[in-house]
Amino acid sequence: MGIVMPTLVDVLRNGTQLDSDGVMVRVSRQACEEGADMIDAMAQVLREVAESPWPDSKLESLLKTLQVRAQSVLDQFEA
């Protein structure tokens, strides 16, 4: 997943961040937790897709599963 995503999730879960002037500010804990949870959910879907075998005979089924999982993550953003 690289360094950026875990760092972003850690910053969100910490509840503080630097603003554009370099001043440390507190951020809504609930908003941070929800944002971090959504990032974790998206990363999990991507890991599952990346690790799935992609034989041609099952491609349509895998794509449908991906659509359903992606919509589930998107629904969390809109909730």
Measured in residues, the chain has a length of 79
What one-character-per-residue DSSP string does the chain give? --SHHHHHHHHHHHTEEE-TTS-EEE--HHHHHHHHHHHHHHHHHHHHHHHS---GGGHHHHHHHHHHHHHHHHHHHH-
Given this model, what pLDDT does residue 2 score? 45
Enclosing domain of residue 30: 4-78
Taking only the tens place, the pLDDT of each residue in 15-43 is: 777 778 888 888 788 878 888 888 888 88
Number of domain units in the chain:
1
The two structure tokens encoding residue 21:
């002037």
| Proportion of the chain above pLDDT 90, given as a percent | 0
Question: Which pTM does this prediction carry?
Answer: 0.51
* pLDDT classification of 4: cutoffs 50, 70, 90: very low
